[in-house]
């Protein structure tokens, strides 16, 4: 039996970051991970997906945009090569995790961890050998699993994104159930390689969690790619046979059946709380089945913390990382800043990209703010046109009294890279006026931020 100051159960983005910060605070630290070092993100999520999206963007340039860039002749894009590159990128990043564990003198346990009470964890290795660990503190970072539709059974023609991202072969046609971040990213990838794509979303628009104008811009772009979109539509049933998957969808009183080679379910995630012996710890769960935590990531049991998707907060890798830092510093006796989940940045990497944080105009007004909104189009940004991407906009929602930033919603070229300036300003109470007075290099996409910030004060220059 080995004792540690802190054991982290789960080696994903939250888990490994928490482990590093614990080790940096002088704690004897271990991480227990049964399958994916680096988590879903590095193995079958964020990283390989972004690699595939880059290849998809190039495929679009070589097909739909070749005239714009003076590309002569025909080019064939091999999805198998894109898949192989995505796995190489993923493997490279995973190896980096092991390097960081070694660098920070963190003990790795590649096995399944199961609680045997609130202060003991039993690790079972693939060989069947078991080892017991005891600890003063444990950070639970077990992540989440893809949610399936009620009554729908996975099969050869019905899968989650995990199966699709690990396949080097593409179907001729696919129905994606869910028009959120994962659904729209995969829709873009698949359509870029000639797959017939249909997206079914229960809400009234794609990306229903984003600003309505952002959703409209993405919908317009996706329809131009030939993607069929059914909104305000629910899936009643899926029948699989040797030839196709037959999906019955309904919208109000209208019902129809659509077919495709495969169906990808992208309807969200469920916190992964079973199979770890949590019941032996006494940890409380929320009504949604997530581990209940306070602002310092403490659970209901002293010494036990939880971070990442298993907490059911905002299920994003960078949220898990931030929670991991808070938990580690709290364990070390520090006073970390609590997270403001409303103001955490969100990023969607299809084409056009989507980036946002904070409140929409409607949400800001609901909270009693006197709101001022400014929107600057990339059609008036020289760098955007130089890239061949003069569509989309930057939209800033500010408090009309002091011009403090309450939220921002962007759609367009590389807007995910523009978020930090705005979230930094929001975090440290900088106003739109102060962004407007900051010199931005020309020509850059970031000038759109400056222009939108100027617009909050009523003095936009280039539009």
Residues noted as catalytic = 442
Q: Which residues, other chains included, contact 176 with Cβ-Cβ below 8 Å and sequence gap of 6+?
A: 183, 186, 187, 197, 198, 199, 200, 263, 264, 266
**Per the structure block, which two tokens stand in for 95?**
């190896």
Full 3-state SS string of the chain: CEEEEEEEECCCHHHHHHHHHHHHCCCCEEEEECCCCCHHHHHHCHHHHHHHHHHHHHHHHHHCCCCCCCCCCCCCCCHHHHHHHHHHHHHHHHHHHHHHHHHCCCEEEECEEEECCCCEEEEECCCCCEEEEEEEEEEECCCEEECCCCCCCCECCEEEHHHHHCCCCCCCEEEEECCCHHHHHHHHHHHHCCCEEEEECCCCCCCCCCCHHHHHHHHHHHHHCCCEEECCCEEEEEEECCCCEEEEEEECCEEEEEEECEEEECCCEEECCCCCCHHHCCCCECCCCCECCCCCCECCCCCEEECHHHHCCCCCHHHHHHHHHHHHHHHCCCCCCCCCHHHCCEEECCCCEEEEEECCHHHHHHCCCCEEEEEEEHHHCHHHHHCCCCCCEEEEEEECCCCEEEEEEEEECCHHHCHHHHHHHHHCCCEHHHHHCCCCCCCCCCHHHHHHHHHHCCCCCCC
Distance CA 243, CA 180 (A): 28
Distance CA 67, CA 374 (A): 34
Q: Which residues, other chains included, contact 243 with Cβ-Cβ below 8 Å and sequence gap of 6+?
A: none
**Per the structure block, which two tokens stand in for 346?**
């969100």
> Which of 180, 181, 189, 166 shows the shortest CA–CA distance to 87?
166
């Amino acid at each position: 039996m080995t004792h540690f100051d802190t054991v982290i159960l789960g080696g994903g983005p939250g888990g490994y970051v928490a482990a590093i910060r614990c080790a940096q605070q002088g704690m004897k630290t271990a991480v227990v991970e049964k399958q994916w070092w680096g988590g879903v993100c590095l193995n079958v999520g964020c990283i390989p997906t972004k690699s595939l999206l880059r290849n998809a963007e190039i495929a679009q340039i070589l097909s739909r945009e070749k005239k714009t860039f003076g590309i002569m002749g025909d080019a064939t894009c091999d999805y198998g090569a894109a898949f192989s590159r995505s796995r190489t990128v993923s493997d490279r990043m995973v190896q980096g995790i092991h390097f960081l564990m070694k660098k920070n003198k963190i003990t790795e346990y590649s096995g399944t961890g199961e609680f045997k009470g609130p202060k003991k964890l039993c690790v079972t290795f693939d060989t069947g050998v078991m080892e017991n660990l005891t600890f003063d503190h444990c950070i639970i970072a077990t992540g989440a699993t893809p949610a399936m539709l009620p009554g729908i059974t996975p099969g050869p023609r019905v899968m989650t994104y995990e199966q699709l991202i690990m396949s080097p072969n593409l179907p001729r046609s696919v129905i994606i159930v869910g028009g959120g971040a994962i659904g729209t990213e995969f829709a873009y990838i698949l359509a870029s390689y000639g797959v017939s794509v249909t997206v079914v979303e229960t809400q009234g628009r794609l990306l229903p969690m984003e600003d309505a104008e952002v959703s409209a811009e993405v919908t317009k772009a996706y329809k131009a790619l030939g993607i069929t979109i059914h909104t305000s539509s629910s899936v009643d049933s899926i029948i699989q046979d040797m030839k196709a998957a037959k999906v019955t969808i309904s919208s109000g009183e209208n019902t129809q059946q659509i077919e495709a080679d495969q169906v990808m379910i992208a309807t969200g995630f469920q916190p992964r709380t079973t199979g770890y012996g949590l019941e032996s710890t006494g940890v409380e769960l929320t009504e949604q089945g997530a581990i209940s935590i306070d602002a310092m990531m403490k659970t209901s049991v002293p010494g036990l913390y939880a971070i990442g998707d298993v907490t059911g907060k905002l299920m994003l890798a960078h949220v898990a990382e931030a929670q991991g830092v808070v938990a580690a510093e709290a364990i070390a006796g520090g006073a970390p800043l609590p997270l403001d989940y409303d103001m955490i940045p969100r990023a969607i990497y299809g084409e056009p990209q989507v980036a946002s944080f904070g409140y929409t105009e409607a949400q800001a007004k609901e909270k009693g703010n006197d709101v001022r909104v400014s929107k600057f189009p990339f059609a008036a940004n020289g760098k955007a046109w130089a890239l061949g991407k003069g569509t989309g906009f930057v939209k800033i929602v500010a408090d009309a009294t002091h011009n403090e930033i309450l939220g921002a919603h962007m759609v367009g070229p590389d807007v995910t890279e523009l978020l930090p300036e705005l979230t930094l300003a929001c975090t440290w109470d900088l106003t739109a006026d102060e962004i407007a007075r900051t010199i931005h290099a020309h020509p850059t996409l970031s000038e759109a931020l400056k222009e939108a910030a100027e617009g909050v004060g009523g003095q936009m220059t280039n539009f």
